[in-house]
Amino acid sequence: MRQQRLEIVEPGRVVIKTGTVAPPAADQVLVQSHYSAISPGTEMLVYRGQWPAGVMLDTTIDALAGAFSYPVAYGYCLVGKVIAAGSAAAAWLGRRVFAFQPHQDLFCADPATLHLIPDDIDDETALFLPSMETAVNLLLDGSPRLGEKVMVVGQGVIGLLTSALLARFPLGALATLDRHPLRRQASLRLGAGACFDPQDPAFLADWGGPPGQGGQADLVYELSGNPAGLETALGLSRFSGRIVVGSWYGAKKVHLDLGSFFHRGRVSLISSQVSSLAPELTGRWHTRRRLDLAWEMLRLVRPAACITHRFSLSAAALAYDLIDCRPGETIQVIFEHRPEKQELQATKE
């Protein structure tokens, strides 16, 4: 069968490679893709040429194993259906699955690398599984507490889902920060008590403090993907505050003022990355438990409304250019791989 597969061949340029897919081996299945989602964080670092030198792709995902180099097929949010199966994997035939796979319309896989989509979760909601698992991990690492004032810097997909989960806690206050009106509106819909433009004077009046003396937040999540966001987070933290750094900046450099409030304020910087669990949690938590919780949170939040644009794979160059050049118009951009969807689908929801 013919396959289409997206590759980033150099910074700023994507191509669609065509080829053939052999029938699945006895212990494999063949998956027909329905949808895949572009990661506006890590994947765009690859697209922009901001991947740090010497860093492997992802040692926790089989499809992304190995050293980084162009051309590269990158992506890890794909939903599809098993349309053929080897004799040892016949039980998977006809099942809907989530796969940590690059953007492609057909592929063979070991069933052990796939995740069955629960019957009560639709395909588009299932696309958010990695982002929701990341949000769950962020809450585990930040340990929000009763009555705390929490600020989330950045309301992209990860920031929005993190805010949606925090909104379920009995916090003293929950506010978010983003420069794009579309994302601020989504943040409020998902439960933030307030969402500020960084240029809004009310933002510093409510959450800031005297220069060099910290701010009002007990807990800050830095999820903007912008190194300047970490400097903002430091200015918002109160004495003994915690800052969870969920952004991965890639090759972008971070410059921080650690000479004023950071040391005297005893501010804690906490790194958070979904590829592992914090060591202090591993006696009770494991990746299977975290993933199961992510499915439950998808049922609760139902984030498919965050999909703003849909493209066919053949229009991938337009999709990446939109995210890169006009990020304020997007939240989640996806590809539709269904065989009948061969023309450009760039309709805003």
Prediction pTM value: 0.93
Q: Where are the domains of the chain?
A: 2-117+306-336, 131-280
Measured CA to CA, the distance from residue 137 to residue 332 in angstroms comes to 20
Measured CA to CA, the distance from residue 248 to residue 69 in angstroms comes to 19
Could you give the maximum distance between any two Cα atoms of the chain, in Å? 68
- Identify the band that residue 342 occupies on the pLDDT scale cut at 50, 70 and 90: very low
pLDDT at residue 347, as a whole number: 31
End-to-end CA distance of the chain: 33
Residue type, 139: L
pLDDT at residue 339, as a whole number: 60
pLDDT tens digits, 195-234? 999 988 888 888 988 877 889 999 999 999 999 999 999 9
Query: Fold identical between 2-117+306-336 and 131-280?
Result: no
CA 19 → CA 4, 22, 39, 105, 117, distances in Å?
7, 10, 25, 11, 28
Over residues 169-198, the mean pLDDT reads 97
pLDDT at residue 154, as a whole number: 97
pLDDT at residue 68, as a whole number: 85
Residue 64 has pLDDT above 90, yes or no: no
Residue 346 has pLDDT above 50, yes or no: no
Residue 15 has pLDDT above 80, yes or no: yes
DSSP per residue over 271-296, as a string? E--TTS--GGGTTT--HHHHHHHHHH
Rounded to the nearest integer, the mean pLDDT of the chain is 92
pLDDT at residue 343, as a whole number: 33
Over residues 44-51, the mean pLDDT reads 94
pLDDT tens digits, 237-296? 999 999 999 998 888 888 888 888 999 999 999 999 999 999 999 999 999 999 999 999
Query: Domain 2-117+306-336 belongs to what topology?
Result: Quinone Oxidoreductase; Chain A, domain 1 (3.90.180)
Q: 139 with 120: CB under 8 angstroms?
A: no
Taking alpha carbons only, the member of 99, 96, 83, 81 closest to residue 37 is: 99
pLDDT at residue 341, as a whole number: 42
Q: What is the CATH class of 131-280?
A: alpha beta
- Identify the band that residue 59 occupies on the pLDDT scale cut at 50, 70 and 90: low
Measured CA to CA, the distance from residue 313 to residue 245 in angstroms comes to 33
Measured CA to CA, the distance from residue 336 to residue 333 in angstroms comes to 10
- Identify the band that residue 309 occupies on the pLDDT scale cut at 50, 70 and 90: very high
Measured CA to CA, the distance from residue 241 to residue 337 in angstroms comes to 45
Q: Sign of the C-alpha dihedral, residues 308, 312, 316, 321?
A: negative
Measured CA to CA, the distance from residue 205 to residue 143 in angstroms comes to 26
- Identify the band that residue 133 occupies on the pLDDT scale cut at 50, 70 and 90: very high
Q: 53 with 124: CB under 8 angstroms?
A: no
